[in-house]
Chains A and B, each alone.
Chain A
Amino acid sequence: MTELIINLAIPIGLIILAMITGMIIESRHFQSIRQRESTFRGMPIINEKQFPTDQPIIDSRMVMGSVVVSNDYFKRFLAGLRNIVGGEVRSYVSLLDRGRREALLRMREQYPDADLIVNVRVETSAVSKGGKKEKIGSTEVLAYGTAIKFAGESAGRPSA
Chain B
Amino acid sequence: MKIVNRSPESTADISSAKGTAFKELRWLLLVITLLVVGIYLVIGFVVDMAVVHISFETEAAFFESMNASDVAWGKDDEELRRLDGILEKLTADPSVPPLKYRLQIVEAEEPNAFAFPGGTIGVTRGLLGALKEDEELAFVLAHELGHFQNRDHLRGVGRAVGAGVVFALLFGGEMGSGSTGNLYHHVLHRGYSRNQEEAADRFGVSLVRRVYGNTDGVDRLFQIISDSDELPEWAYMFATHPSPEDRIRDLKAYAEEAE
Interface residues, chain A, with chain B CB atoms under 8 Å away: 3-4, 6-8, 10-11, 19, 22-24, 26-27, 30-31, 34, 37-38, 41-42, 44, 46, 51-53, 73-74, 76-85, 90-91, 93-94, 96-98, 101, 133-134, 156
A24 to B16, CA, bound (A): 8
In the complex the two chains form, what is the Cα distance from A90 to B11 in whole Å? 11
> Residues of B contacting A11 with CB < 8 Å?
176-177, 179-180
Give bound CA distance, A133 to B174, whole Å: 8
Residue pair B21, A23 in contact (C-beta under 8 Å) = yes
Q: List 13 A-B contacts (CB under 8 A).
A: A4-B186, A23-B19, A30-B15, A30-B16, A41-B7, A52-B1, A78-B25, A80-B171, A80-B175, A81-B29, A91-B21, A97-B12, A134-B177
Helix, strand, loop or mixed for chain B's interface? loop
- Chain B's nearest CB lies how many Å from the CB of A34? 7
Is B6 in the interface zone, CB < 8 Å from A?
yes
CA distance A46 to B3 in the complex (A): 9
Contacts A41-B6, A85-B32; A78 near B24 (Cβ below 8 A): yes
**Does B231 sit at the interface, judged by CB under 8 A?**
no
Cβ A27 vs Cβ B35 within 8 A: no
Contact of A30 among B5, B13, B28, B35 (CB under 8 A): B13
Tell me if A34 and B179 are in contact (CB < 8 A).
no
B13 A26 Cβ-Cβ under 8 A: yes
Distance from B81 Cβ to chain A, minimum over Cβ atoms (Å): 34
Bound-complex Cα distance A10 to B178 (A): 12
Least Cβ distance of A93 to chain B in Å? 5
If A8-B183, A83-B174 touch, whether A93 touches B28 (CB-CB below 8 Å) is no
Q: Is A84 touching B179 in the complex (CB atoms < 8 A)?
A: no
Bound Cα distance from A90 to B24, whole angstroms:
8
Is A85 a contact partner of B183 (Cβ separation < 8 A)? no
Query: Does chain A have a CB within 8 A of B31?
Result: yes
Complex Cα spacing A23 to B171, Å: 24
Shortest CB–CB separation between residue B48 and chain A, in angstroms? Answer: 26
With A26-B15, A27-B13, A91-B21 in contact, do A82 and B28 touch (Cβ < 8 Å)? yes
Q: Is B69 an interface residue (CB 8 A)?
A: no
Contact B11 A97 (CB under 8 A): yes
Residues of chain B with a CB closer than 8 A to A22's CB: 15
Shortest C-beta distance, A136 to chain B (Å), equals 9
A78 and B21 contact, CB distance less than 8 A: yes
**Contact indicator B35/A7 (Cβ below 8 Å):** no
Contacts of B182 in A (CB 8 A): 3, 7
> Smallest CB–CB gap between B227 and chain A, Å?
26
CB distance from A25 to the nearest CB of B (A): 8
Beyond A37-B8, A90-B20, whether A10 also contacts B179 by CB under 8 A is yes
- Give per-residue flags for B21-40: 1 if the beta carbon is below 8 A from chain A beta carbons, else 0: 10011001101100100000
Task: State in angstroms the CA–CA spacing of A101 and B19 once bound together.
Answer: 18
- Select A94's contact among B1, B13, B173, beta carbons within 8 Å: B13
Q: How far is the CB of A147 from chain B (nearest CB, A)?
A: 15
A76 to B24, CA, bound (A): 13
Q: Are B21 and A42 in contact (CB under 8 A)?
A: no
Expressed in whole angstroms, the Cα–Cα distance for A37 and B177 within the complex equals: 39
Does B161 sit at the interface, judged by CB under 8 A?
Answer: no
Indicate whether A23 sits within 8 Å of B15 (C-beta atoms), given known contacts A52-B1, A76-B176, A83-B173: yes
In the complex, what residue of chain B is closest to A46 when comparing beta carbons?
Answer: B3
Interface assignment of B14: CB less than 8 Å from any CB of chain A: yes
Task: Please indicate the chain A residues that have their CB under 8 angstroms from the CB of B12 in the complex.
Answer: 90, 93-94, 96-98
